[in-house]
Structure formats: structure tokens, C-alpha cells
Copies of this chain bind each other. A is one copy, B any other.
Amino acid sequence: MAEPEPTHVDVLVIGAGPSGLMLATWLSRCGISTRIVDKRPSRINSGQADGLQSRTFEILDSLGIGADVWREANHMVEIRFWNPDEHGELYRSDAMADTVPGASRFQQATLHQARIEDFLLGYINKHSSIRVERGVIPESLSIDTNLTDSANEYPVSVTFRHMLEEGTVPEQIYGSHASGIPNGLFRSNLTADDTASLLEDALSNTSTRSEKVLAKYVVGCDGAHSWTRRQIGVVMEGEQTDLVWGVLDIIPITDFPDIRYRCTVRSQEFGSMMIIPRENKLVRLYVQITEKDGTGKPVKRSDISPEILLKNAQKILAPYKLSYKHCHWWSAYGIGQRVGSSFSVQNRVFLAGDAVHTHSPKAGQGMNISMHDTYNLGWKLASVIKHRSDPSLLGTYETERRKIAQELITFDHKFSRIFSGRPVKDILGDGAIDIETLQEAFKKGNTFTNGTSVNYDCSIIVSKEPESRALKAENFAQKNGVPASSLNLDHQPDNQDLATGILIGMRMPSFKVLNQSDARPWHFQELLQSNGCWRIAVFPGDLRNADQFARLTTLGQALAAKDSFLRRYTPRSEAIDSVFEIITVHSAPRSSIELLSLHEVFHPFSEEIGWDYNKVFVDDVSYHEGHGEAYKNYGISPLTGCMVVIRPDQHVSCISSLEDMRRIDSFFSGFMIEQK
């Protein structure tokens, strides 16, 4: 058979789990030529991930699907801690908020991974003709390094086998256990990868066809056993322990009083358990496996079953009773933390999600961090492919996301060891953990696990003082007894003091503001929809003040000028807000300002539909939803104001004074390409 003609595509996504689908949402929204393939012939509809961070809800909301997921999810409001008392009997030792109050307008919640995928698939279908191709087994991958320097070439070549029959459920899913309950062991880190055997089957199967795809970029979102990762020689670094935990999704029948709270339960003798309440009356139990076999040795991994897991859980929870009639899924995993040695090769093949970081699932981070990886990468790829940004932008994917992956495994390493440790009774035994240590770990962990504390380092798209330099100055100042601000450090200040509540590198925090034109309240983040736009948030302060009004008018003239960054980097054939959207939030009372008195650039006019009424907002009291106090919360002075550059992924790039448009101009000239 002659080799078929290769097909071309801008981005090839390998793997259609949460990280692959999140990538496809960006690419579908930005109109990028995309293929997304998955080796499994059909989707898996039970088990897997279920935890959703506050930050993930913010991201889903920026795609217009946050409210739907929020409504369907089980909201986790409180964590309750159960520990053995002095007699070794369980008691409720403490309780705390599951999400740090005020961190986000969304709290942590749980919803089954397959439903999240449904919503992402719905988004992709709505915005593009991209469709997931299933039963597509990868065969080989190569990069033509002669082509990698040119933006228009297709240097990555991938061959596939397409299974022509769809809908086969992986054999392993119902496994060898008599229960007939779907299990996830075939995807667990306790089991070897099956891609090779799937490929072998495909090659020996006459009802398959092969295809060669030439892509500008390939992104491996193909999970912990990543085939893509192996092709590009990236290795996972870290460690694996002997600790084995089980997972059980059941509708519990129990007299344990806190079964609908997230709980940590640590027994004196039989290990620990975490209770995660889920949607549709389900509860997920993470159960430490301490069960012994007939000879007193730890139970073999191959003997783990729902019955063993229930038995362990019953012992941990005694004297409370626990049973079930409905079990939806179960699995087991070994605890370990590993990160890929690299996140990309030549910025042409990228790895994301479990393909490049693995850890234990109990903290509910996996699905979130995986989606955040590609939420970081997607808009960058789209911008480079559309020749709006220089390919150097792509280098920030690895620098930004590898740091987060490392923070994640550091957290998980500590967290899972603390949680697997035995409770202290009378004396501190080896590895014993007291209640205070455990609860403190949760408190600290919570700031990390809601996902809003992610802070990207300085780079071409994060214009802030490198921490090391700032720290050095501070140390020097301290040692020498002089104020740090008095030092001439020969570098540009990052203007962080103009908006002390908006931290450069972090995601833009959200407070309620009102639309100047109709008084409707909006959370500021609701204005930052994920459509590929950069935002320039202009905070002109109190516009009743003539100086502030004049500064805004001068800024308007500069923005509207023919040589401004707005004009240079926006294609002439496109709308003036297609690359940069200017959002103004002033702090004068709403009734004291008329929209049309502001410079036109802040509310552009269209011959077809008149003035734009959705660009100017006000920090004022609403009739029904209180006062957002945005200026106060953002730490901006109404008599100074500032401008904030916000990336397409809602992270803050830089801050400048209202006069210093040159700073923003020079920021964008670092990586944007002039348009015709």
C-alpha cells in the first residue's frame, strides 16, 4: 500500500482529557487549525478526577461555562477533622472553611471529570468545527530541525493508526474482579501503560488505516503514561513510595454524622481516610490500605478490591457504621511525586497535565493544574500562529508552568506524608503526626489548593522586579539601616505601589463594579472573557477632579494616536478592540459623569451599532448587590489612578501610571509583531 499523502494542521493535540480539551477551547475560540486525537475508542464516564479549585471556576466562567458547572457541582464548604482521643476513640477535633473566605467569588467544589469534559466539548463544538477523533493510536513522532526556525513551516511529523470501529470499552475497565464495578486500575500508576499493546493490536488489525500528520505544533496531553513524552525523551524526575491508597465512589449508608462534609479521619490503628462529598449523593473515600492478608503480610496490590477498601474504611470509621448499595467506581494508586525534566522540545512539542507532573490525588489538584497548563499555553500558541506575537512567547510556557508543577509536588509530598502518618497518642513515635501539624498543613495548603495564589515570575510578559533583586535590595537596606526605596538600583521600578492589591504575575482579583451606562453590577473578572484579547484596565480615579479628567483625556489621545501600540499591533482590517480591549473603571459617583464626555477611545463608535456601552465602569454602590469597593480593594488611589495590563489568561503583566503609556508601549514591543 502506498503511503498516504500527509495532512497539515497548525496544532495537533494528543489526548482528549481535561488538559487536551482546555487547549482545544482556546484554539477553537481563536480560530486555529487544530486536530485533537485520543487513543481510547470511547470516553470513560465514571471515576477519575473530581476536585475543582476556585481558580478553575474562574477560568471556566471566562469561557461562559462556569455557572453551569457551579450549579451542577457539589460545593465543599467546610473541612472537618476527626482524630483519635486519648482513649484512641474518634472525635471531631476541629472544623474550618474549605476555601479561604475572600480568595475568590467561587469556592472549591466537586464534579465528575466526565461532566467537565462534556462542558468543554460543548464549548468547542459551539465555537469551531474541531471534533475529537477517538481510537487514534500514535505510532511515531519526529521533528525536522531544519524547519523549526520558520513560523510558517510544519516541522513535526506524527503517524497514527485509526481504529475504524468505535465504541469499544477498554477491557480492563471491568477488570478481573467479580464485583463488576468499573475500576480505574488500568489508568493507575500501579499498572503499566497500554499504548504499545493498543498499537500492536491496531497494526495487526486489517480494519485500521494509517495517517501521517504534519503539524506546526504538537501538544502531548496524553496522561501519566504519556506516549508523547517518551518520543521526545523527556523523563520524569522524583520519587515513588510504597504507600498505597484506594479510592471508592459510593452512595454511603452510614451513621457517621459528617459524611457530607470534607473530612480527614485518622484512626489510631488502621490508617487514615479522606471523605470527599460529591454530586448526586455520591461520596468519594480515599482509604489508606493497611489490610493484611492471611499470613499477616500487607495485602497484594492485585488483590485490592472494593470489598477490601470498604473493610479498611469500616475499621477507620469505627464505631460508626458504613456500608453501601451503590458503588460507581474504585481504584488504587501508589503515592509519589514526579515532574518532567523538560516541558517542551524546541517550543514545537509541548507536554501538559499528567504527562509532565504526577502526584497523589487526595488534594484534588490534578485535573485543575492540568487544565491550567493548557490554559496558559493555548492563547500563546494562537497568538504566535496568527503572527501577532513572536515565537519567543512560547518559552514562557515552560518557565511559568514548570514552577507551578514543582510547587505542586512540594506541597503534595509534604501533605501526603503528613496525612499518611500515624496519629500521635501519648508519645511521638517515628512518623507520628500530631493534630496541630495536620491542621496547620491544611490551613497553609488551602491557600495553595484554591489555585488563586499562582504567581508567575518576571519574563517578557510579566514586567516586575525579579524577586531576587528586590530581596537583595531589601536585605542590603536592612543591613545598612537605610530605606530600600532610597537605593539607586539601576532598574525600572515595577509600579506595584500604584495598585497594592493587584499583584503583578498573579491573576487579576475580582470585585464588583457597575456599568456606567446602565448601573448593572459585574464582577471585574466577568469582563475578562477568554477570547484572546489583552486588556488595558484604566483606573483614572475620581473624574470629578479636573486633573484626573485631564490625565484621562491625554491618555485617550495617546492611545488613539496613529503610532500607539493599539494601532501598531492591531491589524487594520480588524476591530479596534480585537487585540487590546480598553476597560475603564473610574471612582466618581456614577451620576456625576456622562459616558460621552470621555474620549472616544474609551467607548468606540460604530457606524452600524453606535457607541460601545460596555467599556466604562464605575466603583460605586449598587441598588441590590452592595458596594464592590474596587479602588480600596485594588489598593489604587482615586487621586492617582493607574493602568494595568492584563494577559488573555487574566494574569497581570504590568502596571503603569496614567502618563506612562511609553512603559506599556515598550512592554508590548518586547514580543508583539507590527501589523498591517
Binding site for B on A (CB under 8 A): 67, 71, 74-78, 95, 97, 99, 101, 107, 251-255, 257, 259-261, 277, 281, 325-326, 515, 517-521, 591, 594-596, 607-611, 613, 622-624
Contact = CB atoms under 8 A, between A and B. Distances in A.
Contact of A77 (B261, B520, B595): B520
B624 A107 contact: yes
A497 B77 CA distance: 35
Contacts of A99: 623-624
A107 B518 CA distance: 14
A608 B325 contact: yes
A252 B510 CA distance: 31
Contacts of A517: 259-261
Contact of A519 (B261, B281, B611): B261
Contacts of A520: 75, 77
Contact of A257 (B71, B596, B608): B596
A463 B257 CA distance: 38
A281 B609 contact: yes
B77 A518 contact: yes
A610 B260 contact: no
B608 A326 contact: yes
Contacts of A67: 67, 71
A325 B251 CA distance: 58
Contacts of A594: 257
A615 to B, nearest CB: 12
A611 B254 CA distance: 8
A71 B255 CA distance: 40
Given A77-B622, A260-B515, A261-B519, 9 more contacts: A67-B71, A95-B591, A99-B624, A251-B608, A251-B610, A253-B611, A257-B595, A261-B517, A277-B518
A101 B624 CA distance: 6
Nearest to A514: B77
Contact of A609 (B260, B326, B609): B326
A114 to B, nearest CB: 20
A235 B193 CA distance: 77
Contacts of A610: 251-254
B518 A78 contact: yes
A49 B534 CA distance: 38
A55 to B, nearest CB: 15
Contacts of A611: 253
Shortest 7 CB-CB distances between A and B: which pairs? A253-B610, A260-B518, A77-B519, A97-B623, A260-B517, A78-B519, A251-B609
Contacts of A595: 257
A609 B325 CA distance: 7
Contacts of A75: 518, 520
Nearest to A519: B77
Contacts of A277: 518
Contacts of A609: 251, 253, 281, 325-326
Nearest to A281: B609
Nearest to A613: B260
Interface centre among A67, A325, A520, A624 (most CB of B within 10 A): A624
28 contacts: A67-B67, A67-B71, A75-B518, A75-B520, A77-B518, A77-B519, A77-B520, A77-B624, A78-B519, A95-B591, A97-B623, A99-B624, A101-B624, A107-B623, A251-B609, A253-B607, A253-B611, A254-B610, A255-B596, A257-B595, A257-B596, A259-B613, A260-B518, A260-B613, A261-B517, A277-B518, A326-B608, A326-B609
Contacts of A281: 609, 613
Contact of A78 (B101, B255, B623): B623
A111 to B, nearest CB: 14
A70 to B, nearest CB: 9
